[in-house]
Amino acid sequence: MDDERLARFEAAYHQAYGLITAYAARRCDSPQDAADVVAETFTAAWRRVDELPEGEEATLWLYGAARKVLANHHRGANRRRARHVGLDAAMADLYGDSPDSKVELQAIGQVFRTLSDDDREVLTLVAWEGLDREEIATVLGLSRNAVRVRLHRARRRLSRALAQADIRYTTESRLTPAERPL
């Protein structure tokens, strides 16, 4: 029985590890926080391994678990715990490429951050994780229709906020502030 559980958990772990680390890295400001979220997500999954679905569904289930861990994590940011240092270092690798590395993206990022948590959550699950409505419904524990409405409204608000911010292109801003004669 325990062997069967272990095999199931290991399969889910292998299938979802990359996706969950990416999910955490996209949403945590530091690799340490992301490492915490990853470790706690899989720890929680192991505790509830009997509820863990099989196959592809397991990944959606883990997204849902990671989402709850993340929410708790943001709430108790001062509650630091002994961390997996190796994981920190590995997560730091994912932080190498700066997401806002361009001035224009920073502007979009600023607009994006003005949206509500709910709006951002549903938008990023589409944009970053590439989930469809049905998958999002599973992750969020909502009906498909609720997701459809939420997504529609979030897109509208994003679009409006972008228009208001009047993000424009300038010649200079294509350049990063560094010269690189090498």
Residues from 105 through 134 that contact other proteins (CB under 8 A)? 105-106, 108-109, 112, 123-124, 126-130
Residues 79-108 binding other proteins (CB under 8 A) are 81-82, 84-106, 108
Q: Does residue 146 touch other proteins according to CB under 8 A?
A: no
Structure tokens, 11: 């399969």
Q: Does residue 148 touch other proteins according to CB under 8 A?
A: no
Q: Please say which residue, 34 or 137, places its beta carbon nearer to other proteins.
A: 34
Q: Does residue 6 touch other proteins according to CB under 8 A?
A: yes
Side-chain half-sphere exposure of 157, counting CA atoms within 13 A: 18
Q: What is the total count of residues that contact other proteins (CB under 8 A)?
A: 80
**Residues 10-39: x where in contact with other proteins by CB under 8 A, - otherwise, as a string:** x--xx--xxxxxxx-xx--x--------xx
Q: Does residue 75 touch other proteins according to CB under 8 A?
A: no
Give the integer Cα–Cα distance in Å for 166 and 169. 10
Residues 38-67 binding other proteins (CB under 8 A) are 38-40, 42-43, 46-51
| DSSP symbols for 125-161 | HHHTT---HHHHHHHHT--HHHHHHHHHHHHHHHHHH
Q: Does residue 168 touch other proteins according to CB under 8 A?
A: yes
Q: Which residues contact 4 (CB under 8 A, 6 or more apart)?
A: none
Q: Please say which residue, 76 or 177, places its beta carbon nearer to other proteins.
A: 177
DSSP state for residue 174 in the 8-state scheme: G
Contact 122, 151 (CB under 8 A): yes
Minimum CB–partner distance for residue 42 and other proteins (Å): 6
Cβ atoms within 10 Å, residue 56: 11
Q: Does residue 71 touch other proteins according to CB under 8 A?
A: no
Q: What angle do CA 108, 124, 173 make, to 5 degrees?
A: 20
Minimum CB–partner distance for residue 65 and other proteins (Å): 13
